[in-house]
């Protein structure tokens, strides 16, 4: 990938809204190049991390992008970064942006369990983690693994604030909202709709595999999970002789073999009611922005 060529298709969030599945589906299109790393997280310089991806490493991920119309970056962290939208627009001004949404209450609950799976969230109840959010936001703690912003569940799903940044940077005509419910109900229909938006041939879509990706899960062995997702420093010199792409494939496969499906604990009714009230303004904003009624998200189960 030439130094001045950046991806031009971004699934910029929101996390736990079906982005992994959609990235897999779009990656099967012959005119979309997808790197081995779904979320390189190069943009978003405001995000707190011990180490960020170097430009050379980011570009290396897209070295195989040849004649495809699009190259995909599906980093969901861009959604809640205050700078990512502008940084992407500066690097790839003609990019198309896809943002996936679902009921923010369900998404926040799912995000909590995802962070527990990764070993980033150390608080053992969703309610206690929500109570800790204000302190976490005011005094972000540099984590050994992951981003502190991952633990700010209310901020992550502030649709009005986060989507508005992409609208401002790219214009609404290039920021496309995809509803997880629509993707689950008819993945073929929804992926064809996205392909039409991107001016891509819809014919190949009928032959895609539409398996659900990144559903609720747990690690068989936590130490293996940590080794695959956050490899320790001592492993670097041992793996250095192998190409980076090969190392990434091994880590990805190890994580897959160590993962087993599960079901998240149900959300407490009182917590659901509290979060529903808190997210009501964002839900109404999204309804107006998309000319579509999402008020059913505000009704109690």
Tokens 């130094």, located at residue? 3
**Domain containing 207: what range?**
9-216+279-298
Same domain, 189 and 246: no
pLDDT at position 2: 39
Q: What is the pLDDT of residues 50-73, one digit of tens each?
A: 678 889 999 999 999 999 999 999
C-alpha distances in angstroms, 33 versus 8, 70, 206? 10, 6, 19
**In terms of DSSP bridges, do strands 175-179 and 96-101 run parallel, antiparallel, or are they unpaired?**
parallel
One digit per residue, pLDDT tens: the chain, 301 residues? 434 589 999 999 999 999 999 999 999 999 999 999 999 999 999 998 767 888 999 999 999 999 999 999 999 999 999 999 999 999 999 999 999 999 999 999 999 999 988 888 999 999 999 999 999 988 877 776 778 899 999 999 999 999 999 999 999 999 999 999 999 999 999 999 999 999 999 999 999 999 876 666 666 666 566 666 666 665 666 676 766 666 767 766 776 677 776 667 789 999 999 999 999 999 999 999 999 999 999 987 6
How far out from the chain centre does Cα 138 lie? 24
Q: How many domains does the chain divide into? A: 2
Q: Give which of 46, 168, 189 is closest to 97, Cα–Cα.
A: 168
Q: Is position 100 within any domain?
A: yes
**Helix/strand/coil (H, E, C) string of 8-71?**
CEEECCCCCCCHHHHHHHHHCCCCEECCCCCCCCCCCCCCCCCCCCCHHHHHHHCCCCCCCCEE
Contact 62, 2 (CB under 8 A): no
Q: What is the pLDDT of residues 139-176, one digit of tens each?
A: 877 776 778 899 999 999 999 999 999 999 999 999 99
Q: Is position 3 within any domain?
A: no
3-state secondary structure of 127: helix
Same domain, 189 and 244: no
The pTM is what? 0.85
Same domain, 252 and 131: no
Q: Is position 54 within any domain?
A: yes
Neighbours of 182 (CB within 10 A): 15
pLDDT at position 244: 66
C-alpha distances in angstroms, 146 versus 47, 74, 190, 246, 255? 10, 17, 32, 22, 16
Q: Is position 269 within any domain?
A: no
Same domain, 194 and 184: yes
Q: Give which of 225, 21, 272 is closest to 115, Cα–Cα.
A: 225
Q: Is position 135 within any domain?
A: yes
Same domain, 156 and 182: yes
Q: Give which of 155, 119, 125 is closest to 138, Cα–Cα.
A: 155
Q: Is position 94 within any domain?
A: yes
The C-alpha R_g of the chain, in whole angstroms, comes to 19
Same domain, 79 and 225: no
**In terms of DSSP bridges, do strands 70-73 and 32-33 run parallel, antiparallel, or are they unpaired?**
parallel
pLDDT at position 222: 65
Q: Is position 224 within any domain?
A: yes
Q: Give which of 229, 279, 285 is closest to 259, Cα–Cα.
A: 229
Same domain, 137 and 227: no
Same domain, 82 and 105: yes
Residues in the chain: 301
Same domain, 201 and 238: no
pLDDT at position 69: 97
How far out from the chain centre does Cα 110 lie? 12
Contact 287, 142 (CB under 8 A): no
Same domain, 115 and 98: yes
Same domain, 231 and 149: no
Q: What is the pLDDT of residues 153-163, one digit of tens each?
A: 999 999 999 99
How far out from the chain centre does Cα 241 lie? 31
Q: Is position 270 within any domain?
A: no
pLDDT at position 215: 63
What are the residues facing 176 on neighbouring strands?
A: 98
Same domain, 106 and 189: yes
CATH number of the domain where residue 114 is located: 3.40.50.300
């Amino acid at each position: 990938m030439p130094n001045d060529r950046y991806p031009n298709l971004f699934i910029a969030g929101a996390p736990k809204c079906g982005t992994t599945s959609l990235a897999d589906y779009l990656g099967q299109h012959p005119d979309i190049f997808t790197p081995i790393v779904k979320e390189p997280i190069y943009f978003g310089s405001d995000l707190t991390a011990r180490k960020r991806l170097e430009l050379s490493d980011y570009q290396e991920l897209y070295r195989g992008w040849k004649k495809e119309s699009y190259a995909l970056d599906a980093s969901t962290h861009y959604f809640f970064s205050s700078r990512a939208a502008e940084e992407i627009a500066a690097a790839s001004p003609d990019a198309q942006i896809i943002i996936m949404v679902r009921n923010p209450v369900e998404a926040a609950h799912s995000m909590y369990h995802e962070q527990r799976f990764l070993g980033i969230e150390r608080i053992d109840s969703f309610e206690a983690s929500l109570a800790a959010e204000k302190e976490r936001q005011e005094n972000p703690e540099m984590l050994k693994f992951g981003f502190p912003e991952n633990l700010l569940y209310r901020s992550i799903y502030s649709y009005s604030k986060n989507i508005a940044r992409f609208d401002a940077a790219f214009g609404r005509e290039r920021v496309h909202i995809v509803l997880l419910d629509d993707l689950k109900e008819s993945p073929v229909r929804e992926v064809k709709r996205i392909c039409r938006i991107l001016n891509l041939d819809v014919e190949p879509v009928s032959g895609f595999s539409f398996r659900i990706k990144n559903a609720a899960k747990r690690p068989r062995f936590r130490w293996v999970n940590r080794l695959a997702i956050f490899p320790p420093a001592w492993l670097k010199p041992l793996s250095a002789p192998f190409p980076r792409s090969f190392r990434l494939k091994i880590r990805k496969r190890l994580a897959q073999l160590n993962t087993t499906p599960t079901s998240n604990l149900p959300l407490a009714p009182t917590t659901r009611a509290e979060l529903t009230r808190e997210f009501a303004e964002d839900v109404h904003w999204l309804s107006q922005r998309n000319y579509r009624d999402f008020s059913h998200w505000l009704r109690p189960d």
